[in-house]
Each structure stands twice: as C-alpha cells, then as structure tokens.
Amino acid sequence: MTALRLLVAMLAAGLVANAEAVRTPQQLYGPLYRAVEEAHLFLDSKEFADASPKASPDAIMTDWRQSAPQTPAALKSFVADHFTMPEQTTVPNGPSDTRPLSVHIDALWSHLVRRTPTAPPNSSLLPLPYPYVVPGGRFREIYYWDSYFTMLGLVESGRQDLVRDMVRNFAHMIDAYGHIPNGSRTYYLSRSQPPFFFAMVGLVDPDDPAKIYAQYLPQLKAEYRYWMRGAINLKPGEARERVVALSDGTILNRYWDDSDTPRDESFREDEQLARASSRPHNEIYRNARAAAESGWDFTARWFDDGKTLTSIVTTEIVPVDLNSLIFGLEDAIHLGCERVRDTACAHEYADRAAKRRNAINTYLWDDKLGAYGDWRWTQKRFTGTLSVATFYPLFFGVANADRAASVAEAGRKSLLRPGGLVSTPITTGEQWDAPNGWAPLQWMAVGGLRRYHNDLAAVISCRWIVNVNAVYRRTGKLVEKYDVVTPNRPGGGGEYKLQDGFGWTNGVTRKLMTVYPAYARFTAADRCPAT
C-alpha cells in the first residue's frame, strides 16, 4: 500500500488525529472529573482516566448537571451507571521452583500482548494498527521508553514480529500526532518520553541499522523536529518548549509538557502536591509533568533542595540522558541520509551530532563528580546529583576513554549496591532514588560500560540477574523495580502500588541472561565477579 493510500485508510479508520484537537477525560468531564478524583472513589487516580463512557460526553454531563450527586455513594453510583471501568493487566505467577526464569519470561509475552485497532468511543485510549506489548498492572497501554527495553527481550525470545509491529505503531503515532506520546492515551499527548525510537528502529535489523534508519527517515526527522521545536531565533539564556539556549548560544534540550494542569492519571496527587507548596500551582504541575516526560517520576535529580518533591524544578535542568539520546537520534538520521545518498542531509546531521557531542562534553561533564551530570541552566551550575544517567554518554559513544573510566569509577563508588545500581544514592522516598534499581538503567549502564570494555558491566549484570531471580524464586513474579540496597526483595515508593508483569524488567533481564548466560544459574550475589 502506498503511503498516501495508507494515510487515507488510517483517516477512515479513525487512527489519525490532530493531537491538539484530542480532548482528555479532564477536559471532557471538567467538574465531574474533579469530583470523582477528589472524592477518592478509586485507589488509583488512573482508574477513572482509563474508564470508557457508556454515552457521549455531552449526554453524561447533562445527566451530571441534572442529578447533581452530593454524596460519595451517589457519585459512585453515577460513575457506575455511566462508565465502564478498565481491567487490570494481570499475568500468571511462575512455577518458580521448577521453571527457569528465561522460560517464564518467554511465556509472559503472550499475556502482555494487546491488539487495539479501534478504541471505545470517547475513551482515553488511542487506537493502534498493530499488536504491542504493555508493561503490566495499571499500565494497560503501550508506553514509549519502556518499549525499547521490552523489545530487547522480545528479540532474545524470538519475537521479532512484535518488535517490527511495535516500531510500526510508534511510527504511526509520529505520523498521526507529530510525536510519540508518553503512552497511548489522550492524556499523554501533551508530552513525550525519552526518545528511544531510533534505538528501537535499530533493533529491526541490528546487522544493518542504517538500512532501517533510511526506511524510517520521515518519522525520525519528524521526531527530531518535535524535540527541537522553538530553537529558531532562541536567544542565549532563553528556553522555549524542549530547547534551551545556553549563555554562548549552544542549543541543548530539556524535558517539558505542553500543559500546566494536574495530570489526568495523577490528578489527586498533583493537587495535593500543589497545595503543599507555596509556589504557583501551574508551575508545580508543569514541572511534575516534565518529570513524567523524563520517565524519572520522581527523583532528587529534579529537586531544588535535593530532598523534597515540592521543590521540583525539572524544566530548569538540562539532563545528560536526554541530550545523549538526541545525539543518538541525530547520528541515526545522519546514517539514514547517508544510505539514501542525501549528501546535504547527511552532512547537516553529522554536523549537528558533532556539535552536540562537544556540548555534552563541555557543559555536562562535572569535574567535581568525575562524571557526567545535569546542568541547572537557570543558575549556570551543575545540580551536583550523581545518577545512573551518567552512563548515557558511554552508551552512545559520546565519551572518550578517560572519561568513560572516570564514570565507571564514580558509579562503582557511589551507585553500585549488592543488587545492582541505585538510580541515585539519595534516599528521598521517591521511587527513582535509593534504594531502588530499575531495569532500563541497568541496561544503559551495562551497554555503556561494555562499549568501553569495562569489567564493571559484568558485576552490575550479575548482581541484577541474581536479585531478579531471587524475587522470582520467592514470589513467582517479575516486578517494575527492585531494592538493590537490601536485595532479594521488590522496590517501593512512588504514587501507586508496586506493579508486576513487567515489560522492561522482562526485557532487560532476558537480554542480560543472554549476554551473560553463566549468571542465570547463580543463586547468590557472592558468586558474582569482584569489583
């Protein structure tokens, strides 16, 4: 099918829409939405955001105004009459005493596959033309950066079909909305997530990624335009949307969200946060949303005081992980343009990538940490918080050998724990800080260290595999995060209860067990390589 015929077909099927014209549940139901969330009818704010209406929004709001339920019981009855609540994504526990972890992971994929070529009318779900894998639990739709790490495992499980289909879905979302949203819900359209699309595309043909970059050049360029929107005529010291001009005019990127209202999926939590702060509420909402775009929601990385969520200043920070990813995107476009013999394009993006590499090494190298860090552009200083994001420049080959060795040593001293790497060494009670470790961050560190032939990669991999395997043996589950300080137990913290399933844990662990097969048989971390 030609591109034009495909677009016409998608328009006819309702698969293409202008992101700005799509309305979220909060926008559709206004006072009703607020009443439901503030009444705490559901333990998880995301439940009502994912509900499917049984009638048109206008009809529901007419009934709402006429009935005007005054009590929680009456409100709950109204919601039950007018909405169908979503189902939780569940997966079976593994027979952990007999089945190897890799076999269990291979069997889990079928339980996490969803097919939604259409969506219930006026629901928040965005339809997608191809099958995809969800993370699990409350995360019942596709998520952007999660999917790259999930796909690592799909490759090892022989599910290249799902890898191709998920790449097609993300390409479709770029075509439909101009970017890849945080997830396939209307309320995620105001932001994206760490831009791993080019890395996913590379998984389609790892032996010749440039060939696939060339195939997806229109979408790669469109995603780049999204992240760089606002850069033209930006003056030094200014920021617009996701771009920041530093004092010498160098352009780098930050996380952002186009909205400054409470998140639909965390409405009650955001309102509570705003009330606990003396700052303007829209400022709090914007920064919380920007943290959600980062994927690290929440962490000391984004806090002005390094401790408390009310001091969140995400939009004032130039993050090292994001800029490393955009360097990777620029390089992928360069390689794709080279393959199609578009010399001007290849030169342009090679130059962009070279300038960003230089900027990362100039502005995001913190001598005090001996590692890459985040830059507080509004105050022209480093944040001083070491995190696993320091390994991203290694993963994408931005660092030289000396700096890679320095990052490894900083990680060994400050981030390595008995069960893997802590996201940051700071304990705040937030889920992206100590004592938690997350599968995607283990992979970025391991992949970066392996690129520079550093033995710390094997240590991290072994400790992580043993930790995940121990929890699996005890519970039969793979969960979204793990305690790496006191290993052999799940992680905690965050806005919602611990979720199992779990897409990126399955994917990264399956990949690491392929790279280091001997560690899959270890039952205790004391058998892991010494540091």
Using CB atoms within 10 A of its CB, is residue 110 exposed (0-12), middle (13-18) or buried (19+)? exposed
- Choosing from 271, 297, 331, 433, the catalytic residue is 297
490 — phi, psi (to 5°)?
-65, 165
Reference 146, options 495, 503, 479; nearest CA is 503
3-state secondary structure of 136: strand
Residue 39 contacts by C-beta under 8 Å, 6 or more apart in sequence? 72, 75, 76
Angle of helix 401-414 relative to helix 439-451, nearest 10 degrees?
A: 140
The residue count for the chain: 531
Residue showing tokens 């990538």: 353
CA atoms within 13 A on the CB side of 494: 20
DSSP assignment letter at 266? G
Reference 38, options 9, 8, 4, 75; nearest CA is 75
- Sign of the Cα pseudo-torsion (345, 351, 355, 357, in order): positive
Angle at 42 between CA 58 and CA 256, to 5 degrees: 75
The beta strands (E) that lie in 305-437 are given as 317-318, 365-366, 371-372, 375-376, 381-382, 416-417, 420-421, 436-437
- Choosing from 165, 480, 483, 495, the catalytic residue is 480
The DSSP result for 280-336, as a single string, is -HHHHHHHHHHHHHHS--S-GGGBSSSS-GGGB-GGGEE-HHHHHHHHHHHHHHHHH
Please state, in angstroms and as integers, the Cα–Cα distance from residue 85 to each residue in 42, 82, 123, following that order: 10, 10, 11
Q: Answer yes or no: are the C-beta atoms of 170 and 200 closer than 8 Å.
A: yes
The beta strands (E) that lie in 31-167 are given as 52-53, 83-84, 113-114, 132-133
Cα distance from N-terminal residue to C-terminal residue, the chain: 55
283 catalytic? Reply is: no
CA dihedral angle for residue 485, residue 439, residue 146, residue 303, rounded to 10 degrees? 30
316 catalytic? Reply is: no
The distance from CA 45 to its chain's CA centroid, rounded to whole angstroms, is 19
Q: Two tokens at 94? A: 């593994």
Among all residues, which ones are annotated catalytic?
A: 297, 480
